Structure 1
Amino acid sequence: MGILDSFGALVSSIIASIVLLVFAILSFFITVFIVQVGAGLAGYSPSGDFVVLSAAILATGAIVAGASPLSGLSEIAE
């Protein structure tokens, strides 16, 4: 049954990767909207490439920060 367990782990890993990719794309689109609206409220009208660049940097930072384990906070000395 080792092969079937490995195959199940592979399939679940592929499904998890697809779900995470969909969430990353969705968060990027939401971040583009937020950056564009925020720039409009501030009175700026940046070109599309600057909006996409700033949204990509913000979305990447959020994804990396969410994926990194906070190991420094988990080792609280009593």
Structure 2
Amino acid sequence: MGLLDSFGGLVGSIIASIVLLVFAILTFFVTVFIVQAGAGLAGYTPSGDYLALSAAILSASSIVAGASPLSGLSGTTQ
């Protein structure tokens, strides 16, 4: 039974990785739209490379911030 449990854990990890990748791509597209709309409201027309760079930085920082354990800062214990 140990081998089947390990295989189930592996499959679960692969599915979780795929779901996280899909959410990261969706977050990037939404962030591109938000950056483009914000630049338009400010009167700027940035080129596509700056839009992609800023959206990538914002998306990556939000993913890293969501993945980091903040329990040490909140005062809670596990």
Aligned length: 76
The aligned residue for residue 60 of structure 2 is 60
Amino acid aligned to 1:25? I
**Structural mapping, 1:1-78, within 5 Å:** 1-75=1-75
Deviations 1:41-75 (A, max 9, x none): 00000000000000000000000000000032243
Root mean square deviation of aligned Cα: 1.0
Consecutive unaligned residues of structure 1, counting only runs of 5 or more, are none
Consecutive unaligned residues of structure 2, counting only runs of 5 or more, are none
Over the matched positions of the two proteins, sequence identity in percent amounts to: 79
1: CA distance, partners of 2:75 / 2:46: 44
Deviations 1:10-57 (A, max 9, x none): 000000000000000000000000000000000000000000000000
Using the size of structure 1 for normalisation, the TM-score is 0.93
